Chains A and B, each alone.
Chain A
Amino acid sequence: MITDIFMILLLLICFGSMKLLADWCEKQVGTAKERKKEKYYHVEEK
């Protein structure tokens, strides 16, 4: 049972770290910033 909990925790950490990596990559390529900018201009135009 303890090994099961450890394995499930390890899987959760693995997937969680990939979410963090995706956030970091988004920051690097700056696509989030561009999306926000696009939204901003879109609102301004309206």
Chain B
Amino acid sequence: MLQIIITLAIYIALVIPVGNYMYHIATNRKTFADPVFNRIDRMMYKVCRIKGEGMTWKQYAISLLMTNAVMVFAGYFILRVQGILLANPNQIEGMEPTLSFNTIISFMTNTNLQHYAGESGLSYLSQMVVITFMMFTSAATGYAACMAFCRGITGNSKGVGNFYEDVIRITTRILLPFSIVIGILLIWQGVPQTLAGTATVETIEGRLQDIAMGPVAALESIKHLGTNGGGFFGANSSTPFENPTIISNLIELYSMMLLPGACVITFGKMAAERKKEKTGNAVAKIKRNVTCFGSQGRTIFAAMSILFLVGLTVCYLAEKSGNPLLAEAGLDQTVGNMEGKEVRFGVAQSALFTTTTTSFTTGTVNNMHDSLTPLGGMIPMLHMMLNCVFGGKGVGLMNMIMYVILAVFLCGLMIGRTPEYLNKKIEGKEMKLVAIVLIIHPLLILGFSALAVMTGAGQEGITNPGFHGLSQVLYEYASSAANNGSGFEGLADNTYFWNITTGLAMFFGRYIAMIAQLAIAGSFLAKRRVNETVGTLRTDNVLFVFILVFVVYIFAALTFFPALALGPIAEHLVLWMP
């Protein structure tokens, strides 16, 4: 337990300066790195003919969609013909069409759900040009959308920004330098980085064994930093070639937690800046108060932290209590449930990694989620269903603000307060879009899960009978719709049905929410500011933190509890109370 507390304390110390740096980038302020990056950026603007003009929310959304569409079609083509292209020393054939469809949507939407094993399904060219490239661009797209959303919601600038400029700035100033440093640290810990083919070695038993290698460290760094999660190898971060030591495990943990947390700080500072503009003369006074989070950012960070810690505690205790069936069989359970876990990580680091990877929607795994205890496995599922516990690449923050608006609106209805957020009145048109964002997520998860358990094509993939089988299905669609990408595994998912349905869940889970959120930001930006009155509900105090947490849990309970009751909860009851 102590190692979890220390890990999280170091995280808080790291996230504050990174959040401050991101705030400077989001608001086009000077940073220490400007002399280097300004030149690179200007060169790229010149080559791509980017003029940097401000966009409306719709222009921003269409630019985002068009850029993503071009990359999707180009990537699909490369995956299909990879067998005849360069950098393919292992002679890997072109990918099957529905699997290419699934893979390309998966990486473009930052999901990284893999229905193939990386080492045998992709050539080195595909790994680098499609997979690693998209890990950068999909993450940059998410952060760009988040920045535009923050600008709109806080109303600090005239427009929501320029999509192309944002993507370039995020890539050159955040993703590339950070991933180079993390990549070097991982190489230091023993992660391979080579273009040589598979090595064949003689084992101690005298047999020959193929050991897959490749440019692993390069992919591994952006995999975590961009909250992507797709591993070079099928076994992901549980294999020593992706995650060799406890230090590499910590590096991977911090790199996936850093930027989503920093986004909240960026938002908090932008919201505080809005207040600073408004009060004019009181600048110095407010500046002192917003040094770390900003009051609005602090509220959201606190609510996310409560949700995260509750989940982590349940997951850790569930895993620590072990498996009663294994205890009955005579296996020692004093260290907890070690089935599917790496001995070098143990229960604590596995529970922390599991909760983190699903809360920050990365999807990388350092243990087998299918082998978690029922309640231990329910937590990652629940956090993907909530999709706002920090979340990945800025999307979690945008989703949490949807809950904030919902909470403000509900409080307004219940106690007769004016529904206002950040000095802007919340009207029916925004609530309509908030409802779409919040409803589309459970609709995709529960709708496709129902389809899978109803049809023969869906049932063919389910390998576990009973409650655990339903958990597998729920997990797969929760992971897809939340753009997480981790697998419960055990599901035979490389079929037409699973490739197409999960592909659609990933696509609509990402873009419907993103477009509606940008529209809300545009709507907020166009509104006039109203002055705070005694009737205005404060959204920067402790009471609101608890209201927010309560609203998130109530919404999750109303939408997902029946499904969870039939899956992991029923399985837990059967296991512990036979």
Contacts and interface: CB of A to CB of B under 8 A. Distances in A.
Contacts of B76: 7-8, 11
Given A3-B98, A7-B97, A15 B433 contact: no
Contact of A15 (B57, B69, B526): B69
Given A4-B97, A7-B97, A7-B100, A34 B65 contact: no
A28 B429 contact: yes
Contacts of A34: 526
B567 interface: no
A22 to B, nearest CB: 5
B405 interface: no
B525 to A, nearest CB: 8
Contact of B56 (A10, A11, A18, A35): A35
Query: Is the interface on chain A under 10, 10 to 19, 20 to 34, or 35 or more residues?
Result: 20 to 34
B73 A4 contact: no
B265 to A, nearest CB: 28
Contacts of A32: 58
B159 to A, nearest CB: 11
B371 interface: no
Nearest to B427: A29
A28 B427 CA distance: 11
Interface in B26-85: 56-58, 61-62, 65, 68-69, 72-73, 76, 80
Contacts of B98: 3, 7
Interface of A is mostly: helix
Given A11-B72, A11-B101, A18-B511, A31 B58 contact: yes
B103 to A, nearest CB: 11
Given A7-B101, A22-B58, A29 B519 contact: yes
A21 B58 CA distance: 10
A29 B507 CA distance: 23
A25 B101 CA distance: 27
Nearest to A15: B69
B432 interface: yes
A33 to B, nearest CB: 10
A32 B68 CA distance: 24
A8 B515 CA distance: 22
B500 interface: yes
Contacts of A30: 429, 523
A31 B522 contact: yes
Contacts of B101: 7, 10-11
A19 interface: yes
Contacts of A15: 65, 68-69, 72
B168 interface: no
Contacts of A26: 58, 519
B209 to A, nearest CB: 35
A14 interface: yes
A34 to B, nearest CB: 6
A34 B57 CA distance: 13
- Point out which of A7, A29, A31 has the most chain B C-beta atoms below 10 A from its C-beta: A29
B526 A22 contact: no
A3 B97 contact: yes
B515 A21 contact: yes
Contacts of A18: 65, 511-512, 515
Interface string A18-46: 11011001101111101100000000000
A32 B519 CA distance: 11
B408 interface: no
A7 B97 CA distance: 7
Contacts of A35: 56
Contacts of A7: 76, 97-98, 100-101
A35 B429 CA distance: 17
B520 interface: yes
- Point out which of A22, A31, A34 has the most chain B C-beta atoms below 10 A from its C-beta: A22
Contacts of B523: 29-31
A28 to B, nearest CB: 5
Interface in B99-135: 100-101, 105
A8 B68 CA distance: 14
A31 B526 contact: yes
8 contacts: A3-B98, A8-B76, A11-B76, A11-B101, A21-B511, A25-B515, A28-B429, A28-B433
What 10 pairs across the A-B complex have the smallest Cβ distances?
A25-B519, A29-B523, A3-B97, A7-B101, A15-B69, A18-B511, A4-B97, A31-B522, A7-B97, A22-B61
